[in-house]
Copies of this chain bind each other. A is one copy, B any other.
Amino acid sequence: MEKPKLIVDGKRLDGRGFEELRPIKIEAGVLKRADGSCYLEMGKNKIIAAVYGPREVHPRHLQDPSKAVIRYRYNMAPFSVEERKKPGPDRRSVEISKVSREALEPVIMKELFPRSGIDVFVEVLQADAGTRTACLNAASVALIDAGVAMRGMITAVAVAKVDGQLVLDPMKEEDNYGEADVPIAFLIRNGRIEAIALLQMDGRLTLEETRRAIELAKKGVMQIYKLQREAIMRKYMREGEDYEGSAEAAEVAKELSENEGGSEKEGGQSEQEVKE
């Protein structure tokens, strides 16, 4: 297939500017059986994440006596892509699951749950480039929805280089024909980017471009972070319940009570602050 022109008149194929995200939709608490869950759309990506745990680990020899064991399973539905994907894990999904788990592990307060397991399962129902970052965004919300104590929010986005130009949040054509792809996840805490939790890259970038890609990603994740928080707030308001344990949730709740007049949960929040 011929490479199409990806930037025309200073605009991307879908009309976006270089630093513009695709439309995003996030909803927390969409599943009944899971302890926490999240549905997320980002462009044509459709992602659903579920969290089970902390719960008992079987068989026992897989338990860690000092902390929770985290599993992360990234899985694509057979119908999520143009050519039907054979069900089950392939090498790509094994690698994505590994780096995604490693992004979440230092953020989850594992030491609070010795001998237990926390399972994060993410299903890609429709794929349109940037699934691994979209999945991490959904997983992060699902973890907070499950009340798992976390040191902050994980928020992720990809940056690509297409037709010589760095662009935020590439869609399928930009991913296929672009010159570089940099998926990246940050730990965000109290609204501040604190560290890099996931970073991969393939393509070809100068040092300077690599640095600019990171800066561009930082702009992107701050917008996504806001939407993640709003999704949690909506669920919180819907249920009128306390999200226990999570610093992020506590922060959201605090903000909520301050900004939106909710007050009945204040006691709980300070407790959560302490917990963190």
Contacts and interface: CB of A to CB of B under 8 A. Distances in A.
Contacts of A61: 58-59
A57 to B, nearest CB: 13
Interface residues of A, number: 3
Each complex incorporates copies of this chain amounting to 3
A61 B59 CA distance: 9
Interface of A: 58-59, 61
Contacts of A59: 61
A87 to B, nearest CB: 13
Nearest to A58: B61
A61 B58 CA distance: 10
Contacts of A58: 61
A61 B61 CA distance: 12
A91 to B, nearest CB: 13
* 2 nearest A-B pairs in the assembled complex, by CB-CB distance: A59-B61, A58-B61
A168 B61 CA distance: 51
A218 B58 CA distance: 45
A235 to B, nearest CB: 37
A9 to B, nearest CB: 49
A115 B61 CA distance: 18
A58 B62 CA distance: 12
2 contacts: A58-B61, A59-B61
A187 to B, nearest CB: 35
A130 to B, nearest CB: 32
A58 B59 CA distance: 14
A151 to B, nearest CB: 33
A56 to B, nearest CB: 13
A162 to B, nearest CB: 36
Nearest to A59: B61
A60 to B, nearest CB: 9
A142 to B, nearest CB: 30
A4 B41 CA distance: 54
